[in-house]
Structure 1
Amino acid sequence: MASYQIVTDSTSDLTPKLVEELGVEVIPMEFILGDEVYHNYPDAREMSSKEFYARLRAGEMSKTNQINTVTFVETFEPFLQRGLDVLYIGFSSSLSGTYERALEAIAQLKKKYPQRRVVPVDSLAVSMGEGLLVYYAALKQQAGASIDEAAEWVSVHRYSLSQCFTVDDLNHLKRGGRLSAAAALFGSMLGIKPVLRIDDEGHLIPAMKVRGRRQSLDALLNQMEKSIQDPEKQTIFIVHCDAPDDAKYLYKQAKSRVKPKEIIVNDLGPILGAHTGPGGIAIFYLSGNRG
């Protein structure tokens, strides 16, 4: 095993089983619901995704906090003390200040541990898109890749990561400033479902608009069929916001259409779910580009 620890944040939405198998460290991010602050652990020990989305459906609003510099120091330092280097793969810097806080922590630790390294990589990704990069980096590590080789792989392949998703309720995008109130109102009245993606700079951008939920799911599948490369060698990740039936549909269709090596499905956690709302669903895989 290479002498470094891979660290990521909980927006990667890795399943508890994957976290254990890959040996990665996951820093829980915070979300606020009501008057309480919760931590988003991979095992959802403080609140299940089902409860979280049920409370959103009941009209509650959720906010999120980025990971602060102190938390990064407290996470990285024990590994450095043990003589390990750290590879940190973080949530897109275009959507959160979390990555910048990590860089601040790294600068502090460099002075204290000049013989050790913390190598940061901005995933330019969200949810299990970030998680997919962590997954492959951990497999590289287990195969004997050095920290620089694993970091280089992520830095290159983040631009080949396709991240497409759709939402069921436009009002959550409106609240998050991603959609105007008028567009949300008329879109909802007309049954419009946006298909969105993450661009090369890690920004959330619209890809297309379709009418109807099933059509939006099929749009994700059609895009995957056109762009996925060597699916028989790939692991595909699917996440959903308490939409298990739609996730099953995507799973079955993806398995039938492109015959990937493996498909892993998980809940989309509260950190991103606060902005997408119940019913959001996404699919992640490697393609020729981020389209």
Structure 2
Amino acid sequence: MKKIGIVVCTNSGADYYKFDHPVEVIHSDLHLGDKVYEDFVDIKADEFYEIISKNPHIDIKTSQPPMGQIIQKYEKLRDMGYNEILTISISTKLSGIYQSTILAAEMVEGITVRAIDSKSVSYGELYLVLEAIKHIKAGLSLEEVAQKVEAVIPNINILVYVDTVKFMVKNGRLSSTAGALASLLKIKPILRMNQHDGSLVAYEKIRTSKKALNRLYEIFTEETKDRDIVAFVVYTNNKPFAEEVKKHLLTIKPGIKIELVPLTPVVGAHAGPGTLGVGYIYI
């Protein structure tokens, strides 16, 4: 009998969520100064943002999960009786984890692995896990589940409100030219995940934080009009602000479901404090 387990990377924020199906999380490493932390295991979101707020010039880097850790997750699911595994990874434009999940599969006997590039991050990636669980419970095959999940990806929209892009520029996560990056450092741009290729791009260049937030609300209003959606707000060290944004979104589209989720440290390391994401998924 075929049994399907799920492996997802820590960039999804899956550690902060409780699932009713076996989901194994592979954790990236966070480098703060001369210390190395395994995301969520050694350091959680609140502690991380407190550290970087108090030490704004601390050297921050991240590194992918070691191959051995991915192999261990596969072997754990296999030993639990799951002979098929669906992996869901952060966008390949932001990390090489997707390729690692494929390579690791070649080193473990007794399993079939189907890998998905979410072309997303945070709750956009996590939502795909929830969709996968729904279809697994409905009795679909591994490939059928994967195709259902991949069909959702173009419907995931994420807008990012940033206090500064310096963290994203420093770590190479923002797709742009050198000249454009110089100008972005002087403004409050709205960034956007391109759900077609998974890149993070500067969507609109705006001069002030207030105007950027108002424009974000306008985009949300325009793009969700007459559409059924699930929405989410992702916060860093600014949960009260996120709660205000959630309330405002509910005035635009009353009655919708809006998840409020923390941005896990290995993603926050590139976003920086003060960052807030607003996402909406067409359903």
Structures share fold, TM-score greater than 0.5? yes
Q: Once the two structures are aligned, what percentage of the paired residues are identical?
A: 27
Contact 2:44/2:265 (8 A) holds in 1: no
Structure 1 residues 155-206: Cα deviation after superposition (integer angstroms, max 9, x where no partner): 12112211211210232233223378886676555xx211111221111111
Normalised to the residue count of structure 1, the TM-score between the two structures is 0.85
Structure 1 residues 219-251: Cα deviation after superposition (integer angstroms, max 9, x where no partner): 23322222237755x432221111113211221
Please, what is the CA RMSD of the aligned residues?
Answer: 2.5
The structure-2 alpha-carbon separation of the partners of 1:12 and 1:230, relative to structure 1 and needing over 3 Å to count, comes to farther
* Structure 1: stretches of 5+ with no match in the other structure: none
More helix by share: 1
Contact 2:227/2:282 (8 A) holds in 1: no
What is the SS of the residue equivalent to 1:205? strand
What is the SS of the residue equivalent to 1:252? helix
Matches within 5 A, 1:93-108: 93-108=92-107
Cα offset for 1:265? 0.8
Show the counterpart of 2:80.
82
Show the counterpart of 1:64.
62
Normalised to the residue count of structure 2, the TM-score between the two structures is 0.87
Contact 2:39/2:266 (8 A) holds in 1: yes
Contact 1:231/1:260 (8 A) holds in 2: no
Show the counterpart of 1:5.
5
Q: Which amino acid aligns with 2:50?
A: A
Cα offset for 1:31? 0.6
What is the aligned residue count? 276
Matches within 5 A, 1:83-232: 83-84=81-82, 85-109=84-108, 112-113=109-110, 116-177=111-172, 178=174, 192-199=187-194, 200-228=196-224, 232=228
Partners of 1:141 and 1:215 in 2: CA distance: 43
Show the counterpart of 1:263.
258
Matches within 5 A, 1:18-57: 18-21=17-20, 23-41=22-40, 45-57=41-53
Partners of 1:260 and 1:91 in 2: CA distance: 30
Partners of 1:4 and 1:103 in 2: CA distance: 16
The structure-2 alpha-carbon separation of the partners of 1:134 and 1:167, relative to structure 1 and needing over 3 Å to count, comes to same
What is the SS of the residue equivalent to 1:278? coil
Q: Which amino acid aligns with 2:141?
A: S
Cα offset for 1:64? 0.5
Cα offset for 1:10? 0.7
